[in-house]
Structure 1
Amino acid sequence: MGHVTLKDLAKKLGISASTVSRALHDHPDISDKTKKLVMEAADKYGYQPNPIAQSLKKQSSKVIGVIVPEIKHNFFATVISGIEEIAYNAGYIIMVCQSNETLQREIVTTKALAANRVAGVLMAVSLETTTWEHIRALMKQGIPLIQFDRVIDELDTGKVVIDDFRASYQMTSHLIDRGYKRIGFLAGSEGITMNKLRFNGYRQALKNHGVPFYPELHINIGGCRGRNGRIGAEEYLKMDNPPDAILCINDPVAVGAFCRFREEGLRIPEDVALAGFSGSPESALIEPGLSSVAQPAFEMGKAAATLLLKQLHEKENFRPETITLETELLLRGSSYKEKK
């Protein structure tokens, strides 16, 4: 037989569904004999309570909503695995939604999760998210929220991030150290804190090492996907004096640029060096391999879920904190030509 319901169980025992329900919940009105009978039958027929139906009755759920820009992005897929490990062990299931990098979908998703009375929400904002009334509305309904990776500073929530400024500073310093002089920056979207921090780290490294910043080499491609990287590469290819190295906002963008440069017959890193962010598996698959900032995605997921559970546990006493995780540079062939 398929999924056994409460009603099926009641029918088999010849008692009412409400009696079965009370027996399963150890209600004092129900005799021990009946409770024993119901428990044994539940075991025998493999009755599983419906967690969603139960949570609607209790007005609180064991479901955690997770909103990510894209699931296919290896970084977010790995973060989700980290979240699930912690959530599952604490008796929660996760409901994953993707905003597809649009504000509109993020708004719809936030409302849907609130309507479904999730216990809490873990969120990395979309590239279009420059207004956040929808997130404030969620918080006003008393739904705990933790932000991770891409966060909005202005919102007073727990956050789990990497030190984007420092990581970008280190990677830019590496490019300078290898003898590159005209270093470009392929940016995702202006509004995002992560983008600003990575850009500022790049600028600071240039300044501290006495390498000029060329404004025309800072291109805002408006997205974080491979096709955006191709668009950026296209812009550089039109220049009379193109960059000799480029720091990209993330790995998909770097791989997109890499492929476009290759089509034009450019040699990497001899003609142009490339570096990305996230340390995704595809960064190691291209030849030469892509230099990248390895972000601890699995740990980020675990830390975000742990912080949310802490908030659920402490309720009103919870004080939002920001957890900053360590990164490391994965230095590969895309930035490693011999020094000039």
Structure 2
Amino acid sequence: MKKGRVTIKDIARELNIAPSTVSRALNDHPAIKKETKDAVKALAEALDYQPNLLALNLLQKKSNTIGVIVPEITGHFFSAIITGIQDVIVDSEYNIMICLSNESYEEELTIVKRLSKIQIDGVLVAPSSETKNFDHFRRLQKSGIPVVVFDRDCPGLEADKVLVDDYFGAFQAVDYLIGTGCKKIAHLGGPLNLSTTEQRLQGYLDALEKNKVPIKRDHIVHVPGFSHKDAVKATKRLLELPERPDAIFAYNDKIAISAMHIAKKTGLQIPEEVSVIGFDDEPHSSFITPSLSTVWQPVYSMGMLSARILLSHLKNQNTALDFRKEVFKPELVIRASSR
């Protein structure tokens, strides 16, 4: 027997039968005798034969692969979502291919084109912060490839969506700050193009309005990205205002932690002089000093549900299923960074 990967032809040669007979025996074809099936399967096991799924998938015009497009995986948020996706997909016939857009619309376009060329079976996507046009996702759908959008909405795109009620989470956070006596609450918002940015900003504004707290436009500053360094200039700008904020509601935990760092460097006491609340409840948020108050999101569950919805489409390809929009409720987590 030759070295290397064992093929159907190798088994056929050893048993002196046709390769087509081996193939049918491995697939339990009723026309093949039981003795032949047993002999073929015994030899296949002895030689550790593994079927060439790539070739089989090409014949069936499918890849048995699901594409997962995310902006990044270095932080807890998207890695936890991917874990939820994987824990559902692992029990199916599908594999997952993780693709990073790096918050770039152009890279996202390239990824979608490449996935189409390899006959991807379905796509799970959190669009980049630059993405304003969703025609590339519509082209996937027109090709018969189901698309499930998670975390970040794609307004106007008809697709399955698994989201979090960002408005509710922001409203709860700001309403709580007002209830503790804060009256000059600033908002470090995310990049302007995102649905999550818009909804958290609206929750912030409505909470102020509900409590008859004046809205100060110079207390709203949007950061260019999602990292610690992206919040430095914005936080300094807020803390240098003549009417300095007594609280900061930040788009995410990284921005909130950066804001706390800058505030402490300027000599401010947290939460006595400035309260801080983030969003996401990343694992490290409870271990910093002071521990960060934040808004918890069920990111693992979001990944699991997104995968289950996509699998339901793949299992019912001949049945038109209605698009689903599932929205999880976040929860406010109060720690030491707020009064």
For this structure pair, what is the TM-score category when the shorter chain's length is used for normalisation? Answer: over 0.9
Stretch moving more, 58-67 or 18-27: 18-27
Q: CA deviation at 1:151?
A: 1.6
Contact 1:160–1:324 (CA<8 Å) still a contact in 2? yes
Q: Residues 143-158 of structure 1 correspond to what in structure 2 (within 5 A)? A: 143-158=145-160
Equivalence for 2:322: 319
* Separation of aligned partners in 2, 1:78 and 1:5: 39
The one-character-per-residue Cα deviations of 1:160-216 (angstroms, maximum 9, x if unpaired) are 111111111101111111111111111112221111111111111000011111111
Equivalence for 1:126: 128
Q: Deviation above 6 Å: which 4+ runs of structure 1?
A: none
Q: CA deviation at 1:13?
A: 4.1
Letter in 1 for 2:199: L
* Separation of aligned partners in 1, 2:244 and 2:57: 58
Q: CA deviation at 1:19?
A: 4.1
* Separation of aligned partners in 2, 1:241 and 1:313: 59
Stretch moving more, 36-45 or 261-270: 261-270
Cα gap change, 1:12 to 1:174, in 2 (>3 Å): farther
Normalization by structure 2: what TM-score?
Answer: 0.92
Which of these residues, 63, 80, 98, is aligned with residue 100 of structure 2?
98
Contact 1:229–1:255 (CA<8 Å) still a contact in 2? no
Q: CA deviation at 1:29?
A: 5.5
Secondary structure at 2:276 match in 1: strand
Letter in 1 for 2:120: V
Normalization by structure 1: what TM-score?
Answer: 0.92
Letter in 2 for 1:323: E
* Separation of aligned partners in 1, 2:258 and 2:5: 47
Equivalence for 2:266: 264
Stretch moving more, 257-266 or 84-93: 257-266
Q: Residues 184-195 of structure 1 correspond to what in structure 2 (within 5 A)? A: 184-195=186-197
Cα gap change, 1:177 to 1:61, in 2 (>3 Å): same
User: How many residue pairs align between the two structures?
Assistant: 336
* Separation of aligned partners in 2, 1:254 and 1:269: 13
Contact 2:250–2:276 (CA<8 Å) still a contact in 1? yes
Q: Residues 123-202 of structure 1 correspond to what in structure 2 (within 5 A)? A: 123-202=125-204
Q: CA deviation at 1:131?
A: 1.5
Letter in 1 for 2:298: P
Which of these residues, 111, 117, 123, is aligned with residue 113 of structure 2?
111
Stretch moving more, 111-120 or 34-43: 34-43
Equivalence for 2:285: 283
Which of these residues, 212, 224, 227, is aligned with residue 225 of structure 1?
227
* Separation of aligned partners in 1, 2:261 and 2:43: 62
Which of these residues, 227, 242, 245, is aligned with residue 243 of structure 1?
245
Secondary structure at 1:155 match in 2: coil
* Separation of aligned partners in 2, 1:105 and 1:118: 17
* Separation of aligned partners in 2, 1:47 and 1:116: 25
Q: CA deviation at 1:258?
A: 2.2
The one-character-per-residue Cα deviations of 1:215-255 (angstroms, maximum 9, x if unpaired) are 11111112222221223213223322222111111112212
Letter in 1 for 2:313: Q
Letter in 2 for 1:322: K
Contact 2:168–2:329 (CA<8 Å) still a contact in 1? no
The one-character-per-residue Cα deviations of 1:65-116 (angstroms, maximum 9, x if unpaired) are 1111111120111111111111111222111111111111111111122212
Equivalence for 2:88: 86
Contact 1:162–1:324 (CA<8 Å) still a contact in 2? yes
In structure 1, list runs of 5 or more residues that go unmatched. none
Aligned-residue CA RMSD in angstroms?
2.0
In structure 2, list runs of 5 or more residues that go unmatched. none
Cα gap change, 1:254 to 1:34, in 2 (>3 Å): same
* Separation of aligned partners in 1, 2:266 and 2:13: 73
* Separation of aligned partners in 2, 1:142 and 1:166: 35
Secondary structure at 1:278 match in 2: coil
* Separation of aligned partners in 1, 2:322 and 2:290: 46
Letter in 1 for 2:327: T
* Separation of aligned partners in 2, 1:21 and 1:265: 75
Stretch moving more, 73-82 or 221-230: 221-230
Which of these residues, 313, 329, 333, is aligned with residue 332 of structure 2?
329
